[in-house]
């Protein structure tokens, strides 16, 4: 089948490349001409493990094309996926749907034959209805079916998640769109990935409910970590102890600096906005959002305290800036709030991230960027491990201790053990552990 992917970002590019890898003919359309030009030369716009090779392989086989012309892109498409961004709208936290609606208008204006339009972007309940209305307004004669197919991939593990999903959710209000999507996902169905077909509004809701639940799980263990610190218990063992209960499950129970990234922060806000518009209260999710915001700032204070309480003129090193390892995505990363609180307190900040520094520089122009973890430690009064990249898991602690002005490690991801760190002469602060 010929598949069109509108938006060649983290989701559109990965999904498009994976569909091509399954043998479909895929064309990715993006407004950003520089991105398209680079992709045609085999240059990836994002860092995602394995993506480079997969894109090159499928582009060379002629199954994966790139264009900035929507008209060319949607010609003869069996399914047109919308995978454009839905960031938080400035001011009110609602999902900004302008890119989705623009894509719908552009498709309606350019399409000639029957089309199946599938929203892969994360969109509030009722967006499919509005996309349908826009299409009817722009092209009343067009035979168009609109479906929802929310994406659950995680950055950093996106290809594996896409190819071996826990489930594929298809939201449709008609059998034709369902048949097309079953065809699109047939290769995965053969791999026994469960396909869950439901109504369009329900599919849209599933995505938000999933993200809000995961965000809640993260914040739950983070608050338990605070209590563990107060009472002298070990949050990692608590997490293991509760995670062995199948009703709870062990995933998303890692205490840390709070959630960030391009999804949880904006999706929890958008869900709250939908609830508010409907006069429904989601007090749990409201608390999660508030607790996460204050947690990120609290992490800055934690580092300041570990460095002696006054960091004016002191040098603080950060290991990792991306919101999680194996991605260069800086959107809503906890490091942004941490850096701001350190700068506000008068510290000098130096950081290193294996992949995210190019994305970070325009967002944090006032800090220094080092070439590696050891340069971060050089002359520093404290080093904080912010993102648990593998490269930071087996650092030469003796070398770090020797090069620091004040040997102090703040481990916001609980990667190290106190005994190991202290053995090398560093003071040690972690999250929720005695």
**Closest approach of Cβ 96 to ligand NAD, in Å?**
10
Applying the rule CB under 6 A, the residues between 49 and 88 that interact with ligand NAD are 83-86
The closest of 18, 347, 357, 2 to 161, measured between CA atoms, is 18
153 binds ligand NAD (CB under 6 A): yes
Taking CB under 6 A as the binding criterion, the range among 3-11, 165-173, 224-232, 308-316 that sits at the site for ligand NAD is: 3-11
The closest of 326, 347, 330 to 392, measured between CA atoms, is 326
Among 17, 18, 20, 29, binds ligand NAD (CB under 6 A): 29
Among 16, 21, 22, 35, binds ligand NAD (CB under 6 A): 35
104 binds ligand NAD (CB under 6 A): no
The residue (of 161 and 234) whose beta carbon lies closer to ligand NAD is: 161
If DSSP states are collapsed to H, E and C, what string results for the chain?
Answer: CEEEEECCCHHHHHHHHHHHHCCCEEEEECCCHHHHHHHHCCCCCCCCCCHHHHHHHHHHCCCEEEECCHHHHHCCCCEEEECCCCCECCCCCCECCHHHHHHHHHHHHHCCCCEEEEECCCCCCCHHHHHHHHHHHHCCCCCEEEEECCCCCCCCCHHHHHHCCCCEEEECCCHHHHHHHHHHCHHHHHCCCCEEEECHHHHHHHHHHHHHHHHHHHHHHHHHHHHHHHHCCCHHHHHHHHHCCCCCCCCCCCCCCCCCCCCHHHHHHHHHHHHHHCCCCCHHHHHHHHHHHHHHHHHHHHHHHHCCCCCCCCEEEEECCCCCCCCCCCCCCHHHHHHHHHHHCCCEEEEECCCCHHHHHHHCCCCEECCCHHHHHCCCCEEEECCCCHHHCCCCHHHHHHHCCCCEEEECCCCCCHHHHHHCCCEEECCCCC
Q: Contact letters (x/-) for ligand NAD, 233-272, by CB under 6 A?
A: -----------------------------xx---------
Among 30, 353, 381, 388, binds ligand NAD (CB under 6 A): 30
Taking CB under 6 A as the binding criterion, the range among 97-105, 127-135, 288-296, 374-382 that sits at the site for ligand NAD is: 97-105
127 binds ligand NAD (CB under 6 A): no
The closest of 341, 210, 301 to 264, measured between CA atoms, is 210
Taking CB under 6 A as the binding criterion, the range among 23-31, 50-58, 364-372, 405-413 that sits at the site for ligand NAD is: 23-31
**Closest approach of Cβ 121 to ligand NAD, in Å?**
3
Q: Which two tokens stand for residue 383?
A: 């080093």
**Closest approach of Cβ 75 to ligand NAD, in Å?**
15
**Closest approach of Cβ 83 to ligand NAD, in Å?**
5
**Closest approach of Cβ 116 to ligand NAD, in Å?**
18
The closest of 266, 127, 131, 270 to 201, measured between CA atoms, is 127
The residue (of 15 and 222) whose beta carbon lies closer to ligand NAD is: 15
Among 3, 5, 8, 159, binds ligand NAD (CB under 6 A): 8
Which residues have CB under 8 Å from 396's CB, separation 6+? 374
397 binds ligand NAD (CB under 6 A): no
94 binds ligand NAD (CB under 6 A): no
Among 151, 229, 332, 348, binds ligand NAD (CB under 6 A): 151
Q: Contact letters (x/-) for ligand NAD, 318-357, by CB under 6 A?
A: ----------------------------------------
**Closest approach of Cβ 105 to ligand NAD, in Å?**
9
> Is 28 labeled as catalytic in the residue annotation?
no
288 binds ligand NAD (CB under 6 A): no
Taking CB under 6 A as the binding criterion, the range among 24-32, 271-279, 284-292, 365-373 that sits at the site for ligand NAD is: 24-32
Q: Which residues bind ligand NAD (CB under 6 A)?
A: 6-12, 29-32, 35, 83-86, 99, 102-103, 106, 121-122, 151, 153, 155, 262-263
List, by residue number, the catalytic residues. Answer: 263
């Amino acid at each position: 089948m010929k598949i069109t992917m509108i938006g060649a970002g983290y989701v559109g590019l990965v999904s498009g490349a994976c569909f091509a890898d399954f043998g479909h003919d895929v064309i990715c359309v993006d407004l950003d001409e520089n991105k398209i030009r680079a992709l045609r030369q085999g240059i990836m716009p994002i860092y995602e493990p394995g993506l480079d090779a997969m894109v090159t392989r499928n582009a060379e086989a002629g199954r994966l094309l790139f264009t900035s012309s929507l008209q060319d892109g949607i010609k003869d498409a069996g399914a047109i996926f919308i995978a454009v961004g839905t960031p938080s709208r400035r001011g009110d936290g609602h999902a900004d749907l302008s890119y989705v609606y623009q894509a719908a208008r552009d498709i309606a204006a350019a399409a000639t034959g029957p089309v199946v339009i599938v929203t892969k972007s994360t969109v509030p309940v009722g967006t499919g209805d509005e996309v349908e209305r826009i299409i009817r307004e722009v092209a009343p004669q067009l035979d168009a079916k609109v479906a929802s197919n929310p994406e659950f991939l995680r950055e950093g593990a996106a290809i594996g998640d896409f190819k071996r999903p826990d489930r594929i959710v298809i939201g449709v209000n008609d059998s034709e769109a369902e048949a097309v999507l079953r065809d699109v996902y047939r290769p995965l169905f053969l791999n026994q990935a469960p396909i869950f077909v439901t109504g369009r509004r329900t599919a849209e809701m599933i995505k938000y409910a999933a993200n809000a639940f995961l965000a809640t799980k993260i914040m739950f263990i983070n608050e338990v970590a605070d209590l563990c610190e107060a009472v002298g218990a070990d949050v990692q063992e608590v997490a293991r102890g509760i995670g062995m209960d199948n009703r709870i499950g062990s995933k998303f129970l890692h205490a840390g600096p709070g959630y960030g990234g391009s999804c949880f922060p904006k999706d929890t806000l958008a869900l709250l906005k939908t609830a508010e518009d409907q006069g429904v209260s989601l007090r749990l999710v409201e608390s999660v959002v508030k607790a996460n915001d204050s947690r990120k700032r609290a992490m800055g204070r934690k580092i300041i305290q570990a460095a002696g309480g006054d960091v004016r003129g002191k040098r603080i090193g950060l290991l990792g800036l991306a919101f999680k390892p194996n991605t260069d995505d800086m959107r809503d990363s906890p490091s942004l709030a941490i850096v701001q609180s350190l700068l506000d307190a008068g510290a000098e900040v130096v950081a290193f991230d294996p992949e995210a520094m190019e994305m970070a520089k325009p967002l944090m122009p006032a800090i220094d960027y080092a070439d590696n973890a050891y340069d971060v430690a050089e002359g520093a009064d404290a080093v904080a491990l912010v993102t648990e990249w593998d490269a930071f898991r087996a650092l030469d602690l003796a070398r770090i201790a020797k090069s620091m002005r004040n040997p102090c490690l703040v481990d916001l991801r609980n990667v190290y053990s106190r005994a190991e760190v202290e053995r090398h002469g560093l003071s040690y602060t972690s999250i929720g552990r005695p």
